[in-house]
Amino acid sequence: MESVERRYEIADIPFALKTKYEYTHRLCAEYATEKQPFFFIETGEEEILREAEASETPFPPPYLESLAVYRALCNRILNDYGGFLFHASAVAVDGRAYLFAAPSGTGKSTHTRLWREVFGERAVMINDDKPVVRRVGGKFYVYGTPWNGKHRLSTNGRAEIAAICELTRGEKNEIARVSAAEGLRVLMNQSRRGESGESMMKLLDLFDELARAVPFYRLKCNMEREAALVAYEKMKKGEENEG
């Protein structure tokens, strides 16, 4: 099988990608670019085997190769471009992004669906599962990626982060701001770690800057539309007060 090489741009970072299988290129199709690449990623049997050994599920080789690409890209973004992969559902309203983090199965996708129902065209889904958070020009932005969860919800774009919220289930809808220390805990629990001591130090420095620059909240919510309104009004009011 002949290898496939194409160019993509994710998180404002153009790169060239060469793979054994076509699957990852179909996955990244909306991120295609003609820009000069900053770096080159190539995968093959060795990378696929490494992902197979690390996985508890016997995925087919094309999918395993996409995981290898994902791993390599995350490492480059962290080590060289001031960004990291955050396990969260990110929605923007009026151009400002709100990120909801929680363990899988808690209801992040359901909650951001409520935001889209409530705010209509004002709401844009940045990424429903694995966005990139990146510091650019002293500000933090969230970017869409092709790795966007089972519902395949993402946008090839970015939005400045207004707030980050830890999502928990509750009978009533209640939201409160939490400390930077609590924010750091959320970031540590829901982010892809660096694979070396040096990259972990870079990640921790980013976490510290993000926790100082962006407010963190904790939301207890049910599955009613009111949950989106309660969350937005509190976080929007906090943003206006700080501004």
229 has pLDDT over 60: yes
pLDDT per position as a tens digit, 126-165: 999 899 999 999 999 999 999 987 778 889 999 999 999 9
Residue 234 pLDDT > 90: yes
Residues 103 and 213 in one domain: yes
Q: How far apart are CA 227 and CA 100, in angstroms?
A: 13
66 pLDDT tier (thresholds 50, 70, 90): very high
Residues 92 and 203 in one domain: yes
**Same domain as 116, residue 158:** yes
Residue 87 · residue 93 · CB < 8 Å:
no
Query: How confident is the model at residue 240, as a pLDDT?
Result: 65
Same domain for 130 and 237, yes or no, is: yes
Give the mean model confidence (pLDDT) for residues 102-112: 84
Q: Are residues 178 and 113 in the same domain?
A: yes
First to last CA, the chain: 56
Q: Are residues 91 and 62 in the same domain?
A: no
What digits encode the pLDDT tens for the residues 211-228?
999 999 999 999 899 999
Last residue of a domain, one of 59, 81, 103: 81
Per-residue pLDDT band for 2 (boundaries 50, 70, 90) equals low
Let me know whether 72 and 189 are in one domain. no
Query: Which of 61, 81, 101 is a domain's end point?
Result: 81
Sequence letter at residue 38? F
| 235 and 180 share one domain | yes
CATH of residue 176's domain is 3.90.228.20
200: left (phi over 0), alpha (psi -120 to 50) or beta: alpha
Give pLDDT, residue 195.
Answer: 85
Residue 182 shares a structural domain with residue 206: yes
By residue range, what is the domain housing residue 17? 4-81
Q: Are 17 and 69 in contact (CB under 8 A)?
A: yes
The pTM (predicted TM-score) of the whole model is: 0.92
**Looking at residue 191, what DSSP letter applies?**
B
3-state secondary structure of 217: strand
pLDDT (0 to 100) of residue 238: 72
